[in-house]
Every structure is written in C-alpha cells, then in structure tokens.
Amino acid sequence: MPGIGNGSRTPGASLFHYVKWEHLLAGVSGGVIATLVLHPLDLVKIRFQVHEGSVATISRPKYNGIFDAFLQIIRKDGVTGIYRGVVPNVWGAGMSWGFYFLFYNSIKTWMQDGDPRMNLGPAKHMLAASEAGFLTLILTNPIWVVKTRMCLQYDKQTTGPSNNYKGMLDALGRIFKTEGFRGLYRGFLPGVFGISHGAVQFMAYEEMKTQYNIYRERHLDYRLKSLEYIVFAALSKIIAASTTYPYQVIRSRLQDQHRHYNGNLDIIRQIFRYEGVRGYYKGFGVYLLHVTPNICIVFLLYEYVSTWKKHKLARDHEQKSKSS
C-alpha cells in the first residue's frame, strides 16, 4: 500500500519498529466519517438480518423493502430513529478501521522488511489481514454487541423505558452485569469466521493494485488516482461480501436481545429449516448499498491520510536538498 513505512529498510527489525500511528489516524477518520453518513442503511440491514419472516416468534416491525423501512422508522421515531445505535457504531467503526489498518500495515511492512515495493503475494496479504482482523475483533466485539442491540430497540412504548439502553455506557454496564464477559463477546465465533471477509477483501484490493501497477510498468507503491482507489476498493468489497456474508446474519442473531438460540449451529439449522438458503442472505441488498460507498470513503480517506506524512517528508527532503 502506498505510504507504508518511510522508504528505508531495516532487515531483522522487530514488528514494533514498523508501527506507524498515521495508519491508526487514517483508519479512524475513514471509519467515523463513513459511519456518520451511512448509519441508517446499517440499521435497516441489521433489522432485516434478524427478521425470521413467517416463522417469527417475536413481534417485530415488518418492512416491505428499504424505503418502507425508512418511512416506518421515521414515522414512528422521527428522523433520530434512523440514527439509533449510531454512537456505538461510530466508536466501533472508528476503532475497528483504525486498529485494523494499524495492525495490518505494521505486520505487512514487517514482512517486507520495510520495503514497500516488495510484492508479498496473495497468501501473505491474507495472512497479514487475518492476524490484524483477529486482534481487532478482540478489542471491538463488545462495542458491536452494543451497536446491534441498540439498533434493535424497536418501540419504547411497548418494551418499557426500563428495558431500553440509555446509551453506549449504560448498555456495556448492563450487559456485563447481567451476562458477564460472555454477553459482551456474543457473536465472537462467527466474527472469527468473518476475519476471512477482511482477508479476502484486503488480498483482492492489494492484488488488484499490484497487478494494475505491473501492467502500467510502475513500482508497486505508486500513488494511484482517486477513482482507481475507489474502483479497487468497491470491487474487493463486493468479492468479499459475496463469499462471506452469511456469518453476519448469524452474528446479528446471536447478539439480538429479543431472541435466544443455543449457539451457532442452532441458528444455522433454524435458518435453513424455516427460511432456506435465502435466509443466510437476508439484508444483503441493503448491505451492498451501505457497504459499497462506505468502503470507498474509508479506503480513499485512508490512502490520503496515511500517505500525507510520507509526501510531507519527501517534500521537506527535496527542499533541504535544493537549499544545500
């Protein structure tokens, strides 16, 4: 990726030598901005994911498509209703993208011995992304549990104010008090499987950039145009989403406070029995509407913020050389 490291090689250096905090800042910036813009689509996606259709044992709002969902939520809860759960989502997205980019680029640059022009290949790109994803999941899973539950608070009038979370900290405290650490890590196992999503996405993204630069006869860390980053980010996300989406449905249902399942296999069996294969892809349409612009915003901001320091150092060095 452009902007990794400072261009100098230090063979044999430790992993911590390659930690660059601008990657954390870049990931946080992209995650927060994209989430603030696109949270309503994320909320609707989660509600579609947990809806069991005609076999539902819990009374939930019934939506006839994305636009009907928005209209019903706004009619019932006002415009603020479509931003229910936005605080933990902003925290979760910011932390997830920040730590993911920090870990990924540190691990990747360590594998390259600090040489950003070294081609690692698909296998090592997937390994670096998988390790980064696992570390990030450990740190952020409790926030995703809170986000899911707050997005699934349907009606204050029928559930009673005492049963609704008053905010992110209230949710974290109450979940820990009533369910312990196990409650905060609901959905962790499918989340581990979901690491493959990030691995596939980053492998595809890196390989498309690499092969494109090779085709254009340029070095591998050559800075691309904004449109090129957007196209590669969108394509890599669609590839990853198409192959790994079912884990998100399983994870959302495990984290749903209105429903109890006896583990992952119970959810998989019930979805297949009552909803068929299509049940594993509930909310996929709205997911693509949400995640495609989301990933474009995140990756574009990431590429620009993460390379800012590199270009600044290069300009300073060039000015110093001219003046000497």
pLDDT in tens, the chain (324 residues): 333 344 455 655 677 677 787 888 888 988 899 999 999 999 999 888 888 776 666 778 888 888 999 999 999 889 989 998 899 999 999 999 999 999 998 998 888 887 777 888 888 989 999 999 999 999 999 999 999 998 888 765 444 445 688 889 999 999 999 999 999 999 898 888 888 888 898 899 989 998 999 998 888 878 888 889 889 999 998 898 888 899 889 988 988 888 888 888 999 999 999 999 999 999 898 888 888 888 888 888 877 776 666 666 556 656 666 665
- The answer to whether residue 320 is domain-embedded is no
Which pLDDT value is given to residue 54? 65
Which pLDDT value is given to residue 74? 93
Which pLDDT value is given to residue 160? 44
Total domains in the chain come to 1
Which pLDDT value is given to residue 57? 63
Stated pTM of the model: 0.75
Cβ–Cβ under 8 Å, residues 200 and 123? no
Which pLDDT value is given to residue 241? 87
Give the separation between CA 236 and CA 239, rounded to whole angstroms. 5
H helices of 51-113, where?
66-77, 86-111
Q: What is the CATH number of the domain that holds 224?
A: 1.50.40.10
Residue holding tokens 């990853």?
A: 240
Which pLDDT value is given to residue 19? 77
Which pLDDT value is given to residue 196? 87
Distances (CA, A) of 128 to 106, 148, 197, 202: 9, 28, 13, 9
Which pLDDT value is given to residue 156? 55
Which pLDDT value is given to residue 30? 87
- The answer to whether residue 323 is domain-embedded is no
- The answer to whether residue 324 is domain-embedded is no
- The answer to whether residue 86 is domain-embedded is yes
Which pLDDT value is given to residue 306? 65
Which pLDDT value is given to residue 224? 85
- Letter for the amino acid at 288? L
- The answer to whether residue 184 is domain-embedded is yes
- The answer to whether residue 311 is domain-embedded is yes
Of 16, 22, 14, the C-alpha closest to 312 is 22
- The answer to whether residue 6 is domain-embedded is no
State the residue range of the domain holding 292. Answer: 20-315
Residue holding tokens 């022009």?
A: 117
- The answer to whether residue 3 is domain-embedded is no
